[in-house]
Amino acid sequence: MNKRNKEKYVVTCAWPYVNTIPHLGTFLHLLSGDIITRYLKIKGDEAIYVSGSDTHGTPVIVAAEKEGIPPKDLAFKYHNIILRLLKEWNIDFTNYTHTHNEVHIEFVQEFYKKVHENGYFTLQESKQFFCDHCNRFLPDRFVEGTCPHCHHQGARGDQCVNPECGKILKPIELINPYCATCKNPPVLKKTEHWYFDLPKFEKQLKDFIVSTPHIPANAKPKMLDMINEGLVARPFTRDLKWGIPAGPIFGEKFKDKVLYVWTEAVLGYLSAVKEWAIKENKPELFEYFWKDKNTKTVFCIGKDNNIFHIILFPALLMAVNDGYPLPYAVSTTQFIMFREKAFSKSQGIGLWADEATAILPAPYWRYYLIYTRPELKDSNFEWSEFTKIVNSNLNDTIGNFIHRTISFITRSFDGKIPVRCKLTPDEKKLLHDVEESTQDYIKAMDNFKLKDAATIVSDIARKGNQYLSSAQPWHTIKENKEAAGTTLNICAKITEILAILLWPIIPEVSEKVWKALGFQEGILEKGILSIDIKNTLEGQKIQAIKPLFHKIKEDELIKSLNDFRKSKQKQSKQKEEKKMVESKQEESGNKIDYKTFQKVELKVATIIEAESIENSKKLIKLQVDLGTEKRQIIAGIKQYYKPEELVGRQIIVVTNLKPAKLMGHESNGMLLAADIDGEPILLKPDKDVPNGTPIR
């Protein structure tokens, strides 16, 4: 296959809310982006993959209130779980971050300042639901009621949860609304919010949608119909405390409002690249990827997010007018249903990402989810179908063919790929068909048809299996070792091709096969475009391989799932009981004893150097003298102290904290400060004392 010019890609996926553990439908987007990125890399392109946890918004606040913890604690609890799951699923991000980080917050505020300066925001007064009992406005999911379109009870204030409806809603459209927290009926109150003037971009958006080939055929007409019906201004601010403050964009009057969560989450596609570039100490990489008109951006999302990525996000890029390329491809999936029902954690309907890998290794799930990827219509998960696909495709076809091929060569040809001799017409046709199928795979992947690509891989393995079974080298080797050798040479070639084509989908399995085939160069270095059907591989030393997969049974899987859930419920119950005990101890005035306090080491130190940390609004890097040693401490005091004012000051330092990294800089300790409405006031001794003096 011919080499061609390297292209540049930014691949991303919808940012999962961190209000719970993601289910398979949510994880499919993260997996899709990983597979696309791996394919682009094995094709020789330059591709980065970014996303992160959506830590703000009403779903997180509502879930936090139910758990009785602050939104930030809940958000990072689930963010850390997702980080662990990404490793389990072998999903490889260039940068998986979260929206509650300095780089993102600053980037979003600066971006919207420019949009505001460009004249695309208007201030509007409106009536919104207010709960007298909770004493707050009720945006989005804080209000529930009956859907005005399908009359489904329990519709949210932002969208109907009935999968057959799914209409985008405004809270005031709900019938019989009630507060999601206390269940009391709300009242209407006046409030002011900023709106994005979306109608101004109707023509540009229509031109973009019509001219962009990689927008799903089932989404394009719906988006165009929406534009033709007339777009409306979209609200940009919310009466909430948890989120990105709107004050720096719209003024001091709006300091108690935050940005509507979707408006900041979509900008994470840019800020995540910026954050990665800063971590790499190569800030120019941000513009290299996001300010190049030739960069191709790919978005892996669910169908309920089409409007945000095909209309709203492109309009924002147009509004800021800062040279960012518009989306190249939106790879949308429909919903995964569970036995014809929508996923529901509370009702135990569905399957979650942690549950899946608890009962079977990730390759089984990666393959299944892509082989059944719902690209045109909703799919339905059934244990019987899952079992059938794993046993038939993965085990009996792909795994069986590869294992038989390598085992036979190891056993009967001294572990060396035999010579390919004269081919029969059928063998020539087989190799031609495999070569064509490889091209079909590339074409499918280039068009983000991941399901088709997975099907093609299975078909190639099936053809190989059929050929191996019909050629029967275990018989022909007794009379014609040359013919048997040709059979195994062809099968080894097909195995090599399968290893390459499988790498984006199930990389860990692919790499096992690649290693067994004895290649010196890595699979990425080899690449998909170097596949040459005429390269016979003869004489290449290979090594034995264990079976790649095993057959599964439906009843055993369900039992394993139930056991896992029972174990989690038990752990959860134990945590709740421990929490209740601790809560009672606190209520009874339980205090720490002197021994516990003594564990904290406090010492006097003098600041000898202080400098601002680039690209940070809050952080200053301090070098402090502790008498017997000097240390570096990172402090979030930049907004209140100038670096030059700090040199020579004595401070109190906690010296036995574990080291931590902030914005790429190591901090070995923490200075103490009083907190007055968020403003830090540095603590110091009443008079100068020797550095290193302990605080008792």
Q: Is 573 helix (H, G, I), strand (E, B) or coil?
A: helix
pLDDT at 579: 67
pLDDT at 588: 55
pLDDT at 416: 97
Burial class (CB in 10 A: 0-12, 13-18, 19+), 119: exposed
Please name the residues in contact with 159: beta carbons below 8 A apart, sequence gap of 6 or more.
166, 167, 168, 169, 304
Q: What is the CA radius of gyration of the chain?
A: 29
Q: Is 534 helix (H, G, I), strand (E, B) or coil?
A: coil
Most confident stretch, 68-72, 203-207, 235-239, 635-639: 203-207
54 touches 16 (CB < 8 A): yes
Q: What does the alpha-carbon distance between residue 361 and residue 509 come to, in Å, rounded to a whole number?
A: 11
Please write the tens of the pLDDT for every residue from 326-375: 999 999 999 999 888 877 655 667 899 999 999 999 999 999 999 999 99
Residue 351: HSE in the Cβ half-sphere, 13 Å Cα cutoff: 25
Beta bridge partners of 146: 153, 175
The CATH code belonging to domain 382-530 is 1.10.730.10
DSSP-derived letter for residue 529 is G
pLDDT at 339: 80
Residue 404: HSE in the Cβ half-sphere, 13 Å Cα cutoff: 23
DSSP-derived letter for residue 198 is G
Task: Assess if CATH 2.40.50.140 describes domain 597-682.
Answer: yes
Instruction: State yes or no: pLDDT of 580 exceeds 80.
Output: no
pLDDT at 341: 80
Q: Is 629 helix (H, G, I), strand (E, B) or coil?
A: coil
Per-residue CA distances from 565 to 361, 376, 559 (Å)? 17, 32, 10
Q: Where exactly are the structural domains of the chain? A: 11-109+261-359, 382-530, 554-591, 597-682
Q: What H or E segment, with its residue span, contains residue 250? A: helix 247-250
Instruction: State yes or no: pLDDT of 67 exceeds 90.
Output: no
b/e per residue, 634-663, with b = 16+ CB within 10 A? bbbbbeebebeebeebbbbbebeeeeeebb
Instruction: State yes or no: pLDDT of 114 exceeds 60.
Output: yes
634, 619, 627: which is closest to 668 by C-alpha? 634
600, 657, 598, 596: which is closest to 632 by C-alpha? 657
Q: Is 621 helix (H, G, I), strand (E, B) or coil?
A: strand
390, 404, 387: which is closest to 549 by C-alpha? 390
Which amino acid, 654?
V
Q: Is 655 helix (H, G, I), strand (E, B) or coil?
A: coil
What is the token pair recorded at 451?
């399901």
Q: Which of 30-39, 151-160, 516-525 has the lowest mean pLDDT?
A: 151-160
Instruction: State yes or no: pLDDT of 69 exceeds 80.
Output: yes
* Residue whose tokens read 């900041």: 264
502, 522, 518: which is closest to 510 by C-alpha? 502
Q: What does the alpha-carbon distance between residue 234 and residue 254 come to, in Å, rounded to a whole number?
A: 17
Q: What H or E segment, with its residue span, contains residue 662? A: strand 660-662
Per-residue CA distances from 371 to 104, 458, 475, 501, 528 (Å)? 35, 9, 35, 14, 20
Mean pLDDT of the chain: 92
Averaged over 461-489, what is the pLDDT?
96
Phi, psi of 340 (to 5 degrees): 70, 5
Instruction: State yes or no: pLDDT of 411 exceeds 70.
Output: yes
Q: What does the alpha-carbon distance between residue 418 and residue 529 come to, in Å, rounded to a whole number?
A: 24
**SS3 per residue for 28-51:** HHHHHHHHHHHHHHHCCCEEEEEE
The structure's pTM equals: 0.82
Task: Assess if CATH 2.60.40.1120 describes domain 11-109+261-359.
Answer: no
Instruction: State yes or no: pLDDT of 1 exceeds 60.
Output: no
Per-residue CA distances from 473 to 415, 485, 489, 533 (Å)? 16, 8, 11, 21
- Expressed in angstroms, the distance from the first to the final Cα of the chain is 74
Q: What does the alpha-carbon distance between residue 326 and residue 13 come to, in Å, rounded to a whole number?
A: 15
